[in-house]
Amino acid sequence: MTYEYENLYHEKGYAVVCGVDEAGRGPLAGPVFAAAVILPEGLEEIGLNDSKKLSEKKREQLFDVIREKAVAWCVASADQNEIDEINILNATFLAMKRAVEGLGVKPDIALIDGNRKPNTGVKEETVIKGDAKCISIAAASVLAKVSRDRYMLELDRQYPEYEFAKHKGYPTRLHYEKIKEHGISPVHRLSFLKNLNEH
């Protein structure tokens, strides 16, 4: 994966291009994370791909490489209470807005993975399957995913009975069994558990 996609926007006059992606929209527990990344122009191949296609070990390695090489980066989140209050889509947009606002350099345009614009306060373009096409979005995808996974390991230490380290909060059979056994924890998304008896 190369800087080719970003160059298209440089040619249109956008000097600073930022990629934005999220992690954790589907889980039953914990925050949704988002990252914004501005990579240097013409960054050489560093082994990036959509974070879902990379092994956990590779994502962990790339996490440090991206932060070292990026012009600017920021990871932000919206917690389970915000998700319950404003719904998961709006909470995802809120996390994305926080990530873009947290960058040390203001981007001229944000390339957003997906097909919806989150209203981050800068010019936006959506890129469907952007994490497989655009190196900045792929970098954001890795930062968001690794940050969220690490956070879920912290929750695992706080709430070992739910075994968050194994399922990272996603709706697996094990996770549903643990909720039924121990009840709903303070870090669960209540709006995702309305139909708990069906599982």
Q: What was the pLDDT predicted at 199?
A: 58
Instruction: Kindly give the residue spans of alpha helices, DSSP state H, lying in the chain.
Output: 4-11, 56-69, 80-86, 88-101, 135-158, 164-167, 173-182
Task: Set out the domains of the chain in order of their start, with CATH numbers.
Answer: 4-198 (3.30.420.10)
Sheet containing strand 17-23, strands side by side: 72-78, 32-38, 17-23, 109-113, 123-127
Region class of 54: left (phi > 0), else alpha (psi between -120 and 50), else beta: beta
Q: What was the pLDDT predicted at 50?
A: 66
User: What tens-digit pLDDT sequence spans the chain (199 residues)?
Assistant: 788 889 999 999 999 999 999 999 999 999 999 999 999 987 877 888 767 788 999 999 999 999 999 999 999 999 999 999 999 999 999 999 999 999 999 999 999 999 999 999 999 999 999 999 999 999 999 999 999 999 999 999 999 999 999 999 999 999 999 999 999 999 999 999 987 766 5
